[in-house]
Structure 1
Amino acid sequence: MKPLILAVAAAAAVATASQAAAPAIAVSDAWARPTPPGATTGAVYATLTNRQPIADALLSATSPEAAKVEFHSMTMTGGVMHMNAVTGPQKLQPGVALRFDPGAAHIMLVGLKAPLKLGGHVTVVLRFARAGVITVEAPVSNAAPDGMAGMKM
């Protein structure tokens, strides 16, 4: 009987360790467009999926490549595209993805210290209410990752 109890306990420990290793927030399809020389702003796109059984919130972001990072939304009014800073936490429900896409919500880098160059990368540090801090390395590219293929740019 003792070997059975030990086997069950070992299996439970492995299962718990596997669950702990999975990130609470999955980040996919992260990328940024290159910026022209002298540009002071740039945008980062990514998909954030909450893998937790409870809601979380994206509170803020920073980047060593920019003076500040903001979250923006895009809306169309009377045929004119408007960009608005989004204040307050960005809610992430369990199992739901928060998408930052071209022409829609995006992560705005304000006060770039240098242009974002094709083939380079940009670091964005995301801070969540429950998941803590997640660092994202977004490649600088002219094209969206495969997961975003077919998207109008």
Structure 2
Amino acid sequence: MMKRTILAAVAALAIMPVSAMAEADKMSDGMVEMKKHTIGNLEVEHARLRATPPNAKVAAGYLTVENKGGEADRLIGGSVDFSDRVEIHEMAVEDGVMKMRPLADGLEIAPGEEVELKPGSYHLMLMGMRDTLKEGETRTLTVEFEKAGALTMDVPVVPFAMSGDSGHAAEHKEH
């Protein structure tokens, strides 16, 4: 029980409120060049990972995917060499409570649509972290799409902002 509570608290720190992340994104956009990558009919940009506190077991990643093709594709997962797995998660309100949950079937990117993975919404959840992500580092991230395949990118690790954190540990009991 205690282990689950601690893991929930770490997950909450990895997925911070939108206001705090928006502030950090403004800082990181000015300091780090975030490249555009193309695979098939998909354009992926603004890919980044959040710095983690020491010994964190989870981390979060964000990016934007635009489908310039004529048929839907689906972001189904990913991988890194410093965590056990990369899952696609969403934040959603259930019974008046904000909860984080994995998307077992991945995330659809419809033709002509742009989907943003961002704090407080859809995001990459890196589970079973084996290393600390430090601000200013560049790490290799692979994201996998159902049709377009795997895309490997070098992405920046951006600041872990603490301002505006309202303590959402209770919202992430599943982690």
| TM-score relative to the length of structure 2 | 0.64
CA distance in 2, matches of 1:79, 1:116: 33
CA distance in 2, matches of 1:54, 1:78: 34
SS at match of 1:118: coil
Distance verdict in 2 for CA 1:78–1:135, change over 3 Å = same
- Match of residue 111 from structure 2: 94
* 2:69 maps to 1:52: yes
- For the aligned residues, what is the CA RMSD? 2.2
CA distance in 2, matches of 1:85, 1:62: 15
CA distance in 1, matches of 2:105, 2:75: 9
1:83-134 C-alpha deviation (Å, 9 max, x unpaired): 1111013211112112110111100001111011010123221222221111
- Match of residue 75 from structure 1: 92
* 2:137 maps to 1:120: yes
| TM-score relative to the length of structure 1 | 0.73
Task: Report % sequence identity.
Answer: 33
Unaligned runs of 5+ in 2: 1-37, 166-175
Distance verdict in 2 for CA 1:121–1:80, change over 3 Å = farther
Distance verdict in 2 for CA 1:130–1:77, change over 3 Å = closer
How many residue pairs get matched? Answer: 125
Task: Within 5 Å, give how 1:18-57 maps onto structure 2.
Answer: 23=39, 24-57=41-74
Unaligned runs of 5+ in 1: 1-21, 145-151
